[in-house]
């Protein structure tokens, strides 16, 4: 039984390491900043937010992720023809005895490309430094297994990402490529984890109603990596009187056409003065995901809106 448990552990390490290198697929629902460095500084308001994500509730060593994101705009006092944005992202991801820690610094340059519609194009770069840790000391070693030595192993990996983004008060769209540098984490002799490139393509429109009490943001996204994972997201978000937010998204796996249902993601948010909070719930629709209680996400943030001209109005929710 103990040998079987060790076997299951290493199978989970492979599966989780493959799906949790950087949990960007779920993070995109928190904010575009997580997956596209070109978004840094897009909003007139600076903000800082923390998130906590829990998966597979009730399972020992289930995946859990925490993050911190801070972003602000740097602009010239007399002109909004161009400006700069910077962001800092810190994320920690833990799956049983395997964990990752990453620090990411983003820079974006925004330039006005069409004055009549106040349309901007931004280009962004991200520099990342990450650590992967495998803690074997907590494994049951009463039964000898040459694969388990009981040590704590760690490796560090630098990386880089890039993106572009186009936006105005009526539409937005972007493309980003994450983890551009080839990076292999030889965390142990028998556990090699490859950090694959990920690609994000998105487009959406902003539709206010005539009373200006409601704003609707339909959006479509395509997500892919260098292996076989490909997803199509369709999302509808509603902002209500600058106080409340509600959104529903459907994710479809298109590894093989016509694909299969993957997840439904819902979210509710509340804005109180400069504070904002959002709860996300993702219900898996395929394979192993159906046997657990979904993915629970909590976001808490604070926004600082400076007295200055804005290229695009500061939204209630990122």
pLDDT at res. 15: 37
CA distance 215 to 211: 10
Delimit the domains of the chain by residue range.
Answer: 2-304
Count CB atoms within 10 A of the CB of residue 134: 20
Q: Which residue numbers in the chain have pLDDT < 70?
A: 1-25, 76-79, 137-150, 183-195, 287-293, 307-318
Query: Which pLDDT tens digit goes with each residue over 233-262?
Result: 999 999 998 899 999 999 999 987 788 898
Q: What percentage of the chain has pLDDT greater than the value 90? A: 49
pLDDT at res. 22: 46
Query: Which pLDDT tens digit goes with each residue over 188-233?
Result: 555 555 567 899 999 999 999 877 789 999 999 999 988 778 999 9
pLDDT at res. 18: 37
pLDDT at res. 189: 54
* Extended strands (E) in the chain: 46-55, 64-75, 82-95, 98-114, 119-135, 152-167, 171-178, 184-188, 191-194, 198-205, 207-208, 214-225, 230-240, 244-253, 260-272, 275-284, 295-304
pLDDT at res. 16: 39
Domain 2-304: give its CATH architecture.
Answer: Beta Barrel (2.40)
* Contacts of 274 by beta carbon, 8 Å cutoff, 6+ apart: 302, 303, 304, 305
pLDDT at res. 127: 96
């Amino acid at each position: 039984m103990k040998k079987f448990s060790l076997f299951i552990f290493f199978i989970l390490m492979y599966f989780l390491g493959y799906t949790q290198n950087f949990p960007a697929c779920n993070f995109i629902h928190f904010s575009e900043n997580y997956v596209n460095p070109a978004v840094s500084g897009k909003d007139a308001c600076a903000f800082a937010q923390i998130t906590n994500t829990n998966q597979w509730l009730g399972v020992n060593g289930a995946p859990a992720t925490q993050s911190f994101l801070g972003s602000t705009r740097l602009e010239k006092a007399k002109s909004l023809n161009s400006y700069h944005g910077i962001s800092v992202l810190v994320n920690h991801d833990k799956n049983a005895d395997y964990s990752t820690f990453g620090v990411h610094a983003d820079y974006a340059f925004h330039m006005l490309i069409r004055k009549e519609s106040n349309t901007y194009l931004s280009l962004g770069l991200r520099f990342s430094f990450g650590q992967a840790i495998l803690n074997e000391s907590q494994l049951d070693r009463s039964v000898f297994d040459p694969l388990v030595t009981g040590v704590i192993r760690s490796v560090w990996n630098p990386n880089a990402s890039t993106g572009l983004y186009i936006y105005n008060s009526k539409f937005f769209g972007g493309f980003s490529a994450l983890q551009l540098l080839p990076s292999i984490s030889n965390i142990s002799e028998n556990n090699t984890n490859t950090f694959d490139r990920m690609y994000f393509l998105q487009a959406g429109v902003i539709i206010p109603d005539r009373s200006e009490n409601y704003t609707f943001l339909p959006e479509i996204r395509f997500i892919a990596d260098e292996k076989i994972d490909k997803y199509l997201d369709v999302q509808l978000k509603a902002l209500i009187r600058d106080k409340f937010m509600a959104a529903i998204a459907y994710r479809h796996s298109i590894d093989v056409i016509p694909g299969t249902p993957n997840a439904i993601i819902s979210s509710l948010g509340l804005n109180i003065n400069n504070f904002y909070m959002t709860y996300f719930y993702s219900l898996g629709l395929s394979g192993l995901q159906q046997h657990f209680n979904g993915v629970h996400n909590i976001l808490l943030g604070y926004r600082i809106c400076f007295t200055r001209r804005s290229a695009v109005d500061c939204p209630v929710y990122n």
